[in-house]
Amino acid sequence: MKSKLLIMSMLSLFSFQLINAQETPAPPPPPSVAPPKAPVAPPAPASKEDTTKLNLGNKQIIIIENKEKANAPKEEWEEELDEGLEEMREGLMEARKELEAALKDLRSKGLANEDVEKELKNAEKEIERADREIKRSENKSEKERNQLKLELKLKNQNDENIPPTPEPPKARKKKNKGATVGFIDIDLGLNFFKFGEGISSEMKSDLELKNWNSLSTTLTFLPTKIFLGSPHLMLMTGLSWRIGQFEFKEKLNFAPNQTLVYNKQDNVKESQFMTHYLQVPLSLYVESKKIRGLGKIGMGVGGYAGVLLHHEHELTTTDPNQFIETEEDFGIKNFRYGLTGRIDVGAIKFFGNMDLSDFWTGQDIRNIECGLWFDF
Confidence band of 129 (pLDDT split at 50, 70, 90): confident
Confidence band of 365 (pLDDT split at 50, 70, 90): very high
Q: Tell me: the pLDDT tens digits for 240-252?
A: 999 999 999 999 9
Average pLDDT across the chain, whole number: 78
**Which of 69-83, 214-228, 297-311 has the least mean pLDDT?**
69-83
Query: How many Cβ atoms from other residues are within 10 Å of residue 194's Cβ?
Result: 13
Parallel, antiparallel, or unpaired for β 59-66 and 365-375? unpaired
Q: How do the residues of the chain divide into helix, strand and coil, expressed in percent and rounded to 5?
A: 30, 40, 30
Of 246, 264, 244, nearest to 254 by C-alpha is 264
Residue 102, pLDDT > 90, answer no
Percent of the chain predicted with pLDDT > 90: 48
Residue 130, pLDDT > 90, answer no
For residue 337, the cross-strand partners are 305
- For residue 108, the model assigns a pLDDT of 77
Confidence band of 107 (pLDDT split at 50, 70, 90): confident
> Residue 138, class by beta-carbon neighbours within 10 Å (0-12 exposed, 13-18 middle, 19+ buried)?
middle
Q: Is 221 helix (H, G, I), strand (E, B) or coil?
A: strand
**Which of 3-7, 58-62, 212-216, 351-355 has the least mean pLDDT?**
3-7
Residue 376, pLDDT > 90, answer no
- For residue 246, the model assigns a pLDDT of 97
Residue 350, pLDDT > 60, answer yes
Measured between alpha carbons, how far is 186 from 180 in angstroms, rounded to an integer?
A: 17
Confidence band of 70 (pLDDT split at 50, 70, 90): very low
Query: For the residues of 284-333, what is the DSSP string, one character each?
Result: EEEEPPPBTTTB-EEEEEEEEEEEEEEEEEEEEEETTEEEEEE-S---B-
- For residue 146, the model assigns a pLDDT of 72
Measured between alpha carbons, how far is 72 from 138 in angstroms, rounded to an integer?
A: 18
- For residue 128, the model assigns a pLDDT of 74
- For residue 259, the model assigns a pLDDT of 94
Mean pLDDT of 298-327: 94
- For residue 163, the model assigns a pLDDT of 62
**Of residues 239 and 35, more confidently modeled:** 239
- For residue 101, the model assigns a pLDDT of 79
Q: What is the pTM of this model?
A: 0.55
Q: Give the CA distances from residue 288 to residues 228, 291, 295, 299, 360, in Å, rounded to whole numbers and listed in that order.
A: 14, 8, 9, 9, 40
Confidence band of 278 (pLDDT split at 50, 70, 90): very high
- For residue 227, the model assigns a pLDDT of 95
